[in-house]
Amino acid sequence: MTRMRPLFASLLLVVGSACGTDLLKVETINPAPTTTTSSTTTTTRPKPKLTTTTRAATSTTVTTLSTPGTPRPRAKPKVPSAVAAPPATKATTPAAVPAPPTTATAPLTGLPMDIVRARRPVLVVKIDNAPKARPQIGLNQADVVFEEGVEGGITRFAALFHSEGSKPVGPVRSARTTDIRLISALRHPLFAYSGANAAFQRYVDQAPLVDVGFDAHADRYHRDSARPSPYNLFSETEKLFDLAPDGAVPPPALFSYRSPGAPPSGADARAVTHAKAWWQASKYTEALWDWDPTAKGWRRTQNGEAHVDGAGKQVTPANVVLQFVTYHDTGQVDSTGTAVPEADVVGEGDAWVLTGGMLIPCRWSKASDTDITHYTDASGAPVKLTPGKTWVELVPPNQAEAS
């Protein structure tokens, strides 16, 4: 038997790297073809066959050896797999959405109020102040109250309701021309009253307001049998607010207010605890205002008695404005033949603002019926009130004092 000399085979590996392609030569010993001679048989071992496999995943080419006749492993058949479910994701919490506001600043008090009510118009109710009309109901719920002189030295109230209501409210009495001058700046307010003479009714019909008076809506009013007529006519503010037309708008702000906790200030301001105003003709009406630091308001006394409402609560607004105005004769008379005056509220004049235990001398000015009244101190700056309810006293000149 003859054995042939071993043969060295070279294996060339091509290796990819980040810096390029490297060539690596590896020499391996493979058995050479062998021929076996015997007496009967000669067998020649075939040369190995080179098989090159390229891996697609990398740039490395590997050369391997296989022997002919060796079966190659069969590739496993691909079995369709079920559609894989998308990977689970963490639930995303939606971004927090701020809750819509529920309050707004009340234009007539400077305090927070219900945002829905803030969109409604103002309701003005004429309330009687004759002795037989007391106690009134609703004065403590009104945002602003104007006290105006009427015939014979009696006063009457124009109560402005916006942030609060009253059930009932009254006694409701007749309109006066002063009312039209006062409320025409309130952006078409609802005006509740009980009758007027023919001349005054024409003023009402022509004014920029919504008539919700007794003659126009008698079903919204009722009589209190426990009181004498004509001092027994009442309504309810919500029933009157229901008469607001589409497109009605809230009133403008009538005053400037200090920020919470800020002390009152103004040129020539001085501390006072007591103020008095009066109207005098055939009868006499006197209003006293005493500062109450605990209640942070001005307690009202009328003709020597605490002025309380139907619930027994004393009238105690945060602010009182004594606005000095002249009165002129309208040429009209009431049912007793007494001349009916009208306050001159368009123009300018002196005023005192009582707020936070202080009296601030100032000037008032109103350019027209449809303009609001401005109150400025000696330096020309707006006088700032305490946020809260306000009474405005339309007082004749030289008919007030303070200490």
Number of other residues whose CB lies within 10 A of the CB of residue 270: 10
Contacts of 342 (CB under 8 A, 6+ apart): 176, 177, 178, 181, 327, 328, 329, 330
Strands, DSSP E only, in 115-273? 123-128, 144-149, 155-161, 190-192, 210-211, 221-223, 233-235, 256-257, 270-271
Peptide bond into 397 cis (omega under 30): no
d(CA 174, CA 332): 14
Query: What is the pTM for the complete model shown?
Result: 0.76
User: Does pLDDT of 31 surpass 80?
Assistant: no
| pLDDT tier, 90 (very low <50, low <70, confident <90, very high otherwise) | low
Task: Please answer whether residues 125 and 93 qualify as being in contact, where contact means their C-beta atoms are separated by less than 8 angstroms.
Answer: no
Between residues 179 and 32, the one the model is more confident about: 179
User: Does pLDDT of 17 surpass 80?
Assistant: no
Could you tell me the residue ranges of all domains in the chain?
Answer: 7-66, 104-402
User: Does pLDDT of 13 surpass 50?
Assistant: no
pLDDT in tens, 274-314: 999 999 998 999 999 999 999 999 999 999 999 999 999 99
Q: Where does residue 285 rank: exposed (0-12), middle (13-18), buried (19+ CB within 10 A)?
A: buried
pLDDT score at 166: 98
What is the rounded average pLDDT of the residues 182-191?
Answer: 98
Task: Please answer whether residues 297 and 388 qualify as being in contact, where contact means their C-beta atoms are separated by less than 8 angstroms.
Answer: yes
Contacts of 25 (CB under 8 A, 6+ apart): 10, 11, 12, 13
Task: Please answer whether residues 398 and 312 qualify as being in contact, where contact means their C-beta atoms are separated by less than 8 angstroms.
Answer: no
Contacts of 301 (CB under 8 A, 6+ apart): 287, 288, 289, 290, 307
d(CA 368, CA 98): 43
Strands, DSSP E only, in 45-202? 49-54, 61-66, 103-105, 112-114, 123-128, 144-149, 155-161, 190-192
**CA of residue 160 relative to chain centroid, distance:** 20
Between residues 204 and 77, the one the model is more confident about: 204
Q: Which CATH number fits domain 104-402: 3.50.90.10, 2.60.40.3080, 1.10.357.10, 3.90.1150.10?
A: 3.50.90.10
